[in-house]
């Protein structure tokens, strides 16, 4: 594999031309002792990518190549690297740095490290370099955030799991999805489809929750035990105080009757939201909303390295298949992927592929 | 002890005269096989009493005698009663019925039973009788909701624990307050003072959190390890991501900067509110508020029978003392108690006493 001085990728030039995806080259940050360079093979398309480059989360450092569901081959490792080796197929998710020293880092909560750096759009510690994502030829990542991909999982299947998958796997695992538990997954999209498959694989009873029944057949094929359409009358009534956990993957809170969801939770059940809607006005809550069942609402953020490796093992062992549409990477390909995400027509995750055609072998 | 046909108490006649406390008599509901009659000796004064009779929670069935921190002596037990005996000193808290059959009742979550009946103001199942509270001579309660009081605890000390105490004991116990955990108690009032004492007794590091330092000396005397005054600059900064649990006992959410409290929580830490402010507009929340530390907000409601007995044992074993002001029961006495609660001048809980003078021996 060739080894370039510069990395090349498709960057969004500005907030008003965010769909332009200019093909540019840039200097990667200085290579550190714990760094791993990889040649990217494919990259999943996450809602975070769209929110970031269209500017509705604010503060995007243009020009920026996004993409944080990366699979590639290791080209080079720093002298102190022990977690990856040259030639290995590895993945990278949405985070590329944590301090390794704080209480959170030391107890498998490194995604909550207060010095964490996400894979793109943030300045790497000790450098002036803004991280560029996986819509590009190569990536340079601290070994801790590089995950070996088991042989049984095709690259374009594995990639979307590295953010979309782990984002739902972590709360399912942490909050006890398993035999005897009833779990709801709100929103049947990129994250939600993993939610259904992983909750089922962990042994829970899983209900898919969506506005209409349009995705019911798909949800059942993914392994759902039941389906709730919130556009129907009294949808919540049969489920009052029965769910142990509801993972909300919806990307919008418009028109959400949060109370009706919360009333479906059993005592101290959790409503765990993993989406961050853009420009969101939030929801009004009152202590009374929680007191009937002593429920809790909150969020989780990604998942630990340990959980990432566990998830990939589970996927390989059970033969879990991502529902993924492969799109060759190019300006037009990325525009198509953004369009499908924006219109929610993707079934259920896009993955940019054919990197050799765009960036060379 | 004399045994009356009618029970007598101080009832609030209407929303506009809620402080009148008329002394009236009424027929108790029919005596059931599992019922326990007690002659009331004293009753703590809870914020719920005020919220209910002043009408700001709505729907108060006037005339109503409130009071749900009751201690008295058992006069009579139904033929199937096994949990209390005549002559025994017992307590009653804020709930007097649960179905005993549902999933919640069967796993020590009977305070979340969907058929639960609170001690006053609600119709008792199978009767037309509205429960009257402990500002009265006697009470008739299902045995399950009658708790033996250990000998070492004076009655006026025990009474306010039966709602104020258990309301904070339950979340502390359920959410792991103990050695190695850092717990915050927001609001140093009737509930908060128990929060400090119980969290300390359970082995946690306890911080009292109040607007000013006015109650600092008291909080330290109760056992707090530290004190945070939220009226001071940067009060939250030294504590970022360090609290495992914060129990919010504040009776108002006006001017609350919820984010600053939430940022003090460690990963998946809980903000547990146990007050229900009257006429509260609620707070606006957004997923972003939770994602830095994956925290959760919610509420708990009272505590189970098992927790009540455990709490009373802990209090007896450790010699924990309620900070209580005793006020002889009468119309004027109740008006004084309501006034002190409304103005937050009580230190830290009122208990109505001298029942024999008001109602006879």
- What are the residues whose beta carbons fall under 8 Å from the beta carbon of B128, sequence distance 6 or more? none
Q: What is the pLDDT of residue B278?
A: 57
Distance CA A85, CA B43 (A): 71
How many CB atoms sit inside 10 A of residue B231's CB? Answer: 9
Are the beta carbons of B240 and A114 separated by less than 8 Å?
yes
In chain B, % of residues over pLDDT 90:
89
Q: Is cis: bond before B348, omega within 30 of 0?
A: yes
Of the candidates A240, A291, A296, the beta carbon closest to that of B301 is on A291
Tens digits of residue pLDDT in A283-329 = 777 777 888 999 999 999 999 999 999 999 999 999 999 999 999 99
* Domain ranges within chain B, ordered by starting residue: 7-162+303-359, 165-299
Superfamily of domain A7-162+303-359 in CATH is Medium-chain alcohol dehydrogenases, catalytic domain (3.90.180.10)
Reading the block at residue A44, the tokens are 């999943």
**Nearest Cα residue in chain B from A170:** B294
* Same topology between domain A7-162+303-359 and domain A165-299: no
Distance CA B262, CA B257 (A): 9
Of A27, A15, A3, which Cα lies nearest the Cα of A132? Answer: A27
Q: What is the pLDDT of residue B286?
A: 77
Whether the CB of A286 is below 8 Å from some CB of chain B: the reply is yes
Are the beta carbons of A287 and B295 separated by less than 8 Å?
no
Q: Phi, psi (5° rounding) for residue A32? A: -100, 170
- Residue B257 — very low, low, confident or very high, per pLDDT cuts 50/70/90? confident
Query: CA-CA-CA-CA torsion for A95, A101, A107, A112, nearest 10 degrees?
Result: -40
Whether the CB of A180 is below 8 Å from some CB of chain B: the reply is no
A361 has pLDDT over 90: no
B192 has pLDDT over 50: yes
Q: What is the mean pLDDT of residues B341-358?
A: 95
What are the CA-CA distances from residue B149 to residues A160, A210, B135, B137, B158 (Å)? 59, 51, 19, 19, 7
Q: Where are the alpha helices (DSSP H) in chain B?
A: 47-54, 103-106, 155-158, 164-174, 190-201, 216-222, 258-262, 288-291, 305-318, 331-342, 355-359
B255 has pLDDT over 80: no
Whether the CB of B293 is below 8 Å from some CB of chain A: the reply is yes
Q: What is the pLDDT of residue A4?
A: 73
Q: Is cis: bond before A175, omega within 30 of 0?
A: no
- Residue A1 — very low, low, confident or very high, per pLDDT cuts 50/70/90? very low
Burial A16-37 (b: 16+ CB within 10 A, else e): eebbbbebbebebbeebebbbb
Distance CA B86, CA B102 (A): 30
Whether the CB of B280 is below 8 Å from some CB of chain A: the reply is yes
Of the candidates B267, B275, B296, the beta carbon closest to that of A270 is on B296
Average pLDDT, chain B: 94
Distance CA B237, CA B229 (A): 12
A277 has pLDDT over 80: no
Which residues on B lie below 8 Å from A118 (Cβ)? none
Q: What is the pLDDT of residue B164?
A: 97
Biggest CA-to-CA distance, chain A = 62
Average pLDDT, chain A: 94
The CATH fold assigned to A165-299 is: Rossmann fold (3.40.50)
Q: What is the pLDDT of residue B111?
A: 97
Q: What is the pLDDT of residue A279?
A: 55
Tens digits of residue pLDDT in B55-65 = 888 889 999 99
Q: What is the pLDDT of residue B196?
A: 98
Q: What is the pLDDT of residue A172?
A: 98
Q: What is the pLDDT of residue A274?
A: 92
- What are the residues whose beta carbons fall under 8 Å from the beta carbon of A154, sequence distance 6 or more? none
Of the candidates B277, B282, B294, the beta carbon closest to that of A298 is on B294
Q: What is the pLDDT of residue B1?
A: 46
Give yes or no for a contact between B158 and B188, defined as CB atoms under 8 angstroms apart.
Answer: no
Tens digits of residue pLDDT in A231-265 = 999 999 999 999 999 999 987 767 778 889 999 99
Asked whether this complex has an ipTM greater than 0.90, the answer is yes
Q: What is the mean pLDDT of residues A116-134?
A: 95
- What are the residues whose beta carbons fall under 8 Å from the beta carbon of B180, sequence distance 6 or more? none
Which residue carries 């993707």 as its tokens?
A346
Q: What is the pLDDT of residue B275?
A: 76
Q: What is the pLDDT of residue A108?
A: 96
Please give the residue that has the higher pLDDT: either A282 or B306. Answer: B306
- Residue A2 — very low, low, confident or very high, per pLDDT cuts 50/70/90? low
Tens digits of residue pLDDT in B135-177 = 999 999 999 999 999 999 999 999 999 999 999 999 999 999 9
Q: What is the pLDDT of residue B280?
A: 60
Q: Identify how many contiguous H helices and E strands chain B contains and give both numbers.
A: 11, 18
Give yes or no for a contact between B40 and B72, defined as CB atoms under 8 angstroms apart.
Answer: yes
Of A12, A126, A98, A26, which Cα lies nearest the Cα of A61? Answer: A12
Q: What is the mean pLDDT of residues B220-247?
A: 97
Q: What is the pLDDT of residue B117?
A: 95
Q: What is the pLDDT of residue A89?
A: 98
Tens digits of residue pLDDT in B117-139 = 999 999 999 999 999 999 999 99
Q: What is the pLDDT of residue A281?
A: 67
Give yes or no for a contact between A311 and B285, defined as CB atoms under 8 angstroms apart.
Answer: no
Whether the CB of A273 is below 8 Å from some CB of chain B: the reply is yes
Whether the CB of A294 is below 8 Å from some CB of chain B: the reply is yes
Q: Which of A114-128, B212-226, B242-256 has the lowest mean pLDDT?
A: B242-256
């Amino acid at each position: 594999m060739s080894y370039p001085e510069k990395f090349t990728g498709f960057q969004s030039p500005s907030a008003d031309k965010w769909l332009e995806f200019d093909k540019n080259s840039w200097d990667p940050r200085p290579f550190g002792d714990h760094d791993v360079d990889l040649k990217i093979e494919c990259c999943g398309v996450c809602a975070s990518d769209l929110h970031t480059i269209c500017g509705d989360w604010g503060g995007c450092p243009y020009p920026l190549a996004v993409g944080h569901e990366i699979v590639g081959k290791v080209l080079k490792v720093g002298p102190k690297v022990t977690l990856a080796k040259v030639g290995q197929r590895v993945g990278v998710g949405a985070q590329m740095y944590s301090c390794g020293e704080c209480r959170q880092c030391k107890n498998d909560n490194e995604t909550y490290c207060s010095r964490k750096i996400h894979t793109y759009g943030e300045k790497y510690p000790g450098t002036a370099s803004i991280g560029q994502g996986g819509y590009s030829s190569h990536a340079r990542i601290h070994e801790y955030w590089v995950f070996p991909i088991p042989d049984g999982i095709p690259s374009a299947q594995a990639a979307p799991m590295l953010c979309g998958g782990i984002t739902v796997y972590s709360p399912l695992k942490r909050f006890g999805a398993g035999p005897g538990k009833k779990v709801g997954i709100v929103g049947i999209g990129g994250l939600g489809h993993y939610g259904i498959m992983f909750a089922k694989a962990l042994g829970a009873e899983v209900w898919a929750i969506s506005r209409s029944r349009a995705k019911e057949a798909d949800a059942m094929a993914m392994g759902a035990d039941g389906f709730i359409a919130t556009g129907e009358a009294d949808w919540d009534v049969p489920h009052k105080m029965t769910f142990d956990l509801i993972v909300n993957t919806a990307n919008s809170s418009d028109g959400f009757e949060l109370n009706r969801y919360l009333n479906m939770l059993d005592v101290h059940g959790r409503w765990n939201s993993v989406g961050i809607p853009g420009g969101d006005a939030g929801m009004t809550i009152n202590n009374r909303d929680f007191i009937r069942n002593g429920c809790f609402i909150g969020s989780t953020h990604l998942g630990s390295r340990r959980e990432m490796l566990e998830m990939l093992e589970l996927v390989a062992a059970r033969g879990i298949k991502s529902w993924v549409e492969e799109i060759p990477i190019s300006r037009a390909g990325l525009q198509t992927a953004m369009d499908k995400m924006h219109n929610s027509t993707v079934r259920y995750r896009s993955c940019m592929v054919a990197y050799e055609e765009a960036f060379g072998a």
